[in-house]
Structure 1
Amino acid sequence: MARTSRLLALLQILRAKRRPVTAAALAEELAVSERTLYRDIAELVAQGAPIQGEAGIGYVLRPGLFLPPLMLSEEETEAIVLGLRYVEQRGDDTLSRAASEAVAKIEAVLPPAALEIARNPVALPGPKRANFPENRVAIEVLRRAIRAQAKLRIDYGDLIGQATTRVIWPIAIGFMNETRSLAAWCELRQDFRHFRTDRIVAASEIGERYPGRRSQLVKTWRSQMDSLAKR
């Protein structure tokens, strides 16, 4: 592997690691000696890469480094564009606009060959759904509560139209082909529940943060969903 390619590969590996990784492990993954690895680390640091660590302990890439899209492979370019186009078609207004802007930013820095792949990809999203069920509560209200880890009081109508009032801890919004769904911990049921956003009649924050970390709730929820899927 040429040194330039190796340095880029090293950055990619560090970027994917959340915890310090030893020089020995990095050298093994790159198929180089530890001496070469140390030289590569020193070169990247000299060029401004925010790598923190030392020999014998491990290295980690601090936040703040952006690897430009022009480093993407053909398959990576297609995967990103496919995902963004899917969101552009099926996301709410905020996400749809953000996806469109992100595609434009990526295309602006791609070299000609990669730009051709982005604009004429092999993989395409399915046909856009004409209309989703109308929401009475804006998705942005739900998104804001999720980010703030704020408890919500909602009025929710079930399949037969019967309304209930619940206090929930919103953790994620699911975008399906036919509907959109809010995943949350329900204080009434003392369990995770999924609420179709078009059936949420009203929603308001009650001025309380739910306990713990949202990331841990999401982890528990995913584990529960995986267990149900295996049954």
Structure 2
Amino acid sequence: MRRADRLFEIIQVLRRASGPLTADRIAAELETSKRTIYRDIDALVAQRVPIRGEAGVGYVLDRGFDLPPLMLTVDEVEAVALGAQWVLANADTALARAAHSVLAKIAAIVPEELRPVIDDPVVGTPPARERNGDQIDVARLRKWCREGRKLAIGYVDESGSVSERIVRPFMVGYVATVRVVMAWCELRQDFRIFRTDRLTAIEFLDQRYPERSVALRRRWLATMGERHAVVQPAG
């Protein structure tokens, strides 16, 4: 790996990290020596890249630092192209428009040699099959997840049983041709996954729930890890 590429990758590794990374960890990921990482980080700091380090703790890249968008790699551009194609085929109208806009913006800023990765990609998703219809305002539902607001819903489960609940939505998901919303169910006092095409009613409440939606997402992920299985469907 050329040194310029390695310097760029060190910044990327630190940017992705959720906490401090030691020189050993960085060296292992980039398949180089710890001494090389020390020299490279010194060089980056000399170039005013905001990397902080503490003996025995590791290195941290200050938030807010970014590189020019033209530094995107082929793999990164293809990842965006693939994700945008899936969103265009499967997500709600607002997100589909956003995906189209993102592709146009990236196509406008990447170097000429990367334009074909956007205009004529070698990665793609199969055409979406017809999705089970529902009349949910998904853009508003995503907003309620971000803002941590409650929903009052009517729901029909797989057995045909009807129930009314107050739930705390925190994520909208897509499973094959089904759209779902992950939420904490106040009726069951547990996490549940609701298919939006099975909602018989939905009322967007102004009331916020006690904890932040990000905290619910993290707790849900931790619960999934502990159970080593998908959180049980709504019932």
Normalising by structure 2, we get a TM-score of 0.82
Tell whether the 8 Å contact from 2:70 to 2:111 is kept in structure 1 after alignment. yes
Over the residues paired in the alignment, what is the CA RMSD in angstroms?
Answer: 2.7
Instruction: Give the structure 2 partner of residue 189 of structure 1.
Output: 188
Instruction: Give the structure 1 partner of residue 221 of structure 2.
Output: 219
Instruction: Give the structure 1 partner of residue 95 of structure 2.
Output: 95
The alignment status of 1:32 with 2:33, answered yes or no, reads: yes
Question: Aligned partners of 2:43, 2:210: CA distance in 1, in Å?
Answer: 46
Instruction: Give the structure 2 partner of residue 151 of structure 1.
Output: 150
| Map 1:39-78 → 2, pairs under 5 A | 39-78=39-78
Question: Which amino acid is the alignment partner of residue 16 of structure 1?
Answer: R
Instruction: Give the structure 2 partner of residue 11 of structure 1.
Output: 11
Aligned residues: 227
Normalising by structure 1, we get a TM-score of 0.83
Question: Which amino acid is the alignment partner of residue 178 of structure 2?
Answer: T
Aligned-residue sequence identity (percent) comes to: 38
Question: Which amino acid is the alignment partner of residue 5 of structure 1?
Answer: D
Tell whether the 8 Å contact from 2:23 to 2:34 is kept in structure 1 after alignment. no
Question: Which amino acid is the alignment partner of residue 218 of structure 1?
Answer: W
Deviates most, 51-60 or 138-147: 51-60
Cα deviation, residue 81, structure 1 = 0.7
Instruction: Give the structure 2 partner of residue 167 of structure 1.
Output: 166
Question: Which amino acid is the alignment partner of residue 26 of structure 1?
Answer: I
Structure 1 counterpart SS, 2:44: helix
Question: Which amino acid is the alignment partner of residue 227 of structure 1?
Answer: A
Provide closer, same or farther for how the CA distance between residues 177 and 25 of structure 1 changes in structure 2, counting only shifts above 3 A.
Answer: closer
Structure 1 portions without partners, runs of 5+: none
Question: Aligned partners of 1:65, 1:220: CA distance in 2, in Å?
Answer: 30
Question: Which amino acid is the alignment partner of residue 229 of structure 2?
Answer: S
Cα deviation, residue 160, structure 1 = 7.3
Question: Aligned partners of 1:191, 1:40: CA distance in 2, in Å?
Answer: 48
Structure 2 portions without partners, runs of 5+: none
Q: Deviations over 1:29-59 (max 9, x none)?
A: 441352x433322332343423222444311
